[in-house]
Amino acid sequence: MDKFLEMKVFAAVVDAGSFTRAADTLAMSKAAVSRYVAELEERLGVRLLHRTTRKLSPTSEGEIFHARCRELLGNLEDAEAEIGVGSGEASGRLKANVPVTFGLMHLSQLWPALLERHPGLALDITLSDRVVDLVEEGFDVAVRIGQLPASSLISRRLAGTRMVLCASPTYVAARGEPGVPGDLLAHDIIAYSLFASGDSWTFTGEQGQQTVKVAPRFRTNSGDTCRAAALQHQGIVLQPSFIVGADLAAGRLVEVMPDWRSIELGVYAVYPSRKFVSPKVRVLIDFLVEAFAEPVWGA
């Protein structure tokens, strides 16, 4: 029995949650899939799956074995890809993690062009604002926005984005515009709850650097929701230009306190430190560098 095929079948069953869906994914019969899993359990002498009429799920031993299978299968795929580096052909499944809003606004429309350019490539894109562990969770690459801490990961800068303090013209007309950071205490603030600095906002102007601890009226973990609230005249937001750039250009939002600048962030592609970078990772990063050579959100 081919042990790698056994692992591939078992991993597909766990990922799909059923023998039928795994069989469809693998282009095999359901009977063959069931037989592979049964023979695997017999060979290992342990039950790997809980089977009921309504649900299929891995046992504790199955969870451990599934993680190992995914690691070994991924290593095999990487090894095969590295052998093909000389050909320049990118193939296989590329698993990437990207931030939710950035992924929807600026990446979702790019993926079809990448697939068209590289027919042998398959994409598995996860949108999440959580900082994932690339190695533990099996991601080939991630897009991250911020000021990257020192780590063992390799990073490639794709673009820059700045945090912009802004509000709707209607809000500014009704409430006035803050002149210095301290004036924000008298305004309705729409805050992004996942800021590393929390409610402490730092600005730099002619008078040096000043930090103000804002008192948000509206707090959310979604940049899209912050933007939507600002467009509905609910207050002042501090959001990256990749989210509010088009609104500023169209006049739907206006920058306030422009003499005081907030922090600059980088948009990076990060991937595990390895001696060889597989063609699929290399072509993705090169593709993104090209796509964001002139960011549509401006400065």
**Residue 56: predicted pLDDT:** 84
pLDDT of 78: 63
Helix (H) or strand (E) run with residue 296 in it: none
pLDDT of residue 83: 58
Sketch the domain layout of the chain as residue ranges. 3-82, 89-160+266-291, 162-262
Domain 89-160+266-291, what fold? D-Maltodextrin-Binding Protein; domain 2 (3.40.190)
Residues 6+ apart with CB under 8 A from 2: none
CB 218 within 8 A of CB 189: yes
Q: 229 to each of 169, 190, 232, 240, 254, how far by Cα in Å?
A: 13, 7, 5, 15, 14
pLDDT score for 54: 73
Which H or E run includes 288? helix 279-291
Please name the residues in contact with 18: beta carbons below 8 A apart, sequence gap of 6 or more: 56
Give the model's pLDDT for residue 151: 64
Predicted pLDDT at 297: 85
Do 254 and 243 meet the contact criterion of CB atoms below 8 Å apart?
no
Q: Please tell me the distance from the alpha carbon of residue 66 to that of residue 59, in angstroms, as a whole number.
A: 10
What's the confidence (pLDDT) of residue 51? 82
Question: Could you list the pLDDT tens digit for every one of the 299 residues in the chain?
Answer: 578 888 889 988 888 888 888 888 888 898 999 999 998 888 889 999 988 777 788 898 888 988 888 888 877 766 665 555 555 577 788 999 999 999 999 999 999 999 999 998 999 999 998 888 887 788 899 999 988 766 667 889 999 999 999 999 999 999 999 999 999 999 999 999 988 889 999 999 988 999 999 999 999 999 999 999 999 999 999 999 999 999 999 999 999 999 999 989 999 999 886 556 788 888 999 999 999 998 888 75
Rounded CA separation 130/143 (Å): 11
Note whether 3-82 and 162-262 share their fold.
no
- For residues 48 and 60, give the distance between their C-alpha atoms in angstroms, rounded to a whole number: 8
Beta bridge partners of 269: 143, 156
pLDDT of residue 230: 98
Fold designation for 3-82: Arc Repressor Mutant, subunit A (1.10.10)
The architecture (CATH level 2) of 162-262 comes to 3-Layer(aba) Sandwich (3.40)
DSSP annotation of 217 reads S
Model pLDDT, residue 274: 59
